Amino acid sequence: MRKLLVLILLAIAVPLAAQDSLPPAPYAYQQLDDPALEAKATELMHTLRCLTCQSQSIADSDAPMAGDMRHQVRTRILAGEEPEEIRAWLVDRYGDYISYSPEVSSTTWPLFAIPVLILLGVAFILRGRLRGAK
């Protein structure tokens, strides 16, 4: 029975063998002592993309690299950096893709402009209709 249990546990442990054997970075899973700073860090971490599992935020991911990124965010917040400075630091290194927060840029401006144009068009048509109805 005991042998069987060990075997089962070994089978479950296999994926772990493919990972590194170091303990996670100090602030990967440890919150900051100051709740206000931790809240700031958490808010930022929810809007940064995990590079290993690209559909998750670093706050959601258990990938070692996401842990290292959380450590970076928390130590930088602790050192007095503003969340947007940290985001800019990462965007400088990985491009816009790293951030989930929408930015107006040379490639994304149509996403912001098109709804405004459509609303203007609707207003124009409605005005014409309402006038015609009178």
Partner 1 sequence: MTRFRYFLWGVVGVTAALFGLFAYQLSQPKDEFVESAMIGETIPAFDLPPAVEFRPGLSSANLADGKPKLLNVFASWCVPCRAEAPYLDELERRGAEIVAVAIRDRPQDVSAFLEIYGNPFSRIGSDEISAVQLSIGSSGVPETFVIDGSGVITYQHIGDIRAADVPMLLAKLQEAGA
Q: Tell me, by CB under 8 A, how many residues bind partner 1.
A: 23
* 38 scored as a contact of partner 1 (CB under 8 A): no
Cα Dmax for the chain:
88
* 64 scored as a contact of partner 1 (CB under 8 A): yes
Q: What is the DSSP string of 3-69?
A: HHHHHHHHHHHHHHHTS--SPPPTTTSPPPSSHHHHHHHHHHHTTBB-SSSTTSBTTT---HHHHHH
**Residue from 54, 60, 117, 127 that binds partner 1 (CB under 8 A)?**
54
Per-residue x/- track, 67-86, partner 1 (CB under 8 A): -xx-xx--------------
- Closer CB to partner 1, 40 or 49, in the complex: 49
**Contact (Cβ atoms closer than 8 angstroms) between residue 51 and residue 90:** no
* 25 scored as a contact of partner 1 (CB under 8 A): yes
Among 77, 65, 53, 54, residue whose Cα is nearest residue 25: 65
* 52 scored as a contact of partner 1 (CB under 8 A): yes
Which residues of the shown chain bind partner 1 in the complex (CB under 8 A)?
Answer: 18-22, 25, 51-52, 54, 64-65, 68-69, 71-72, 90-95, 97-98
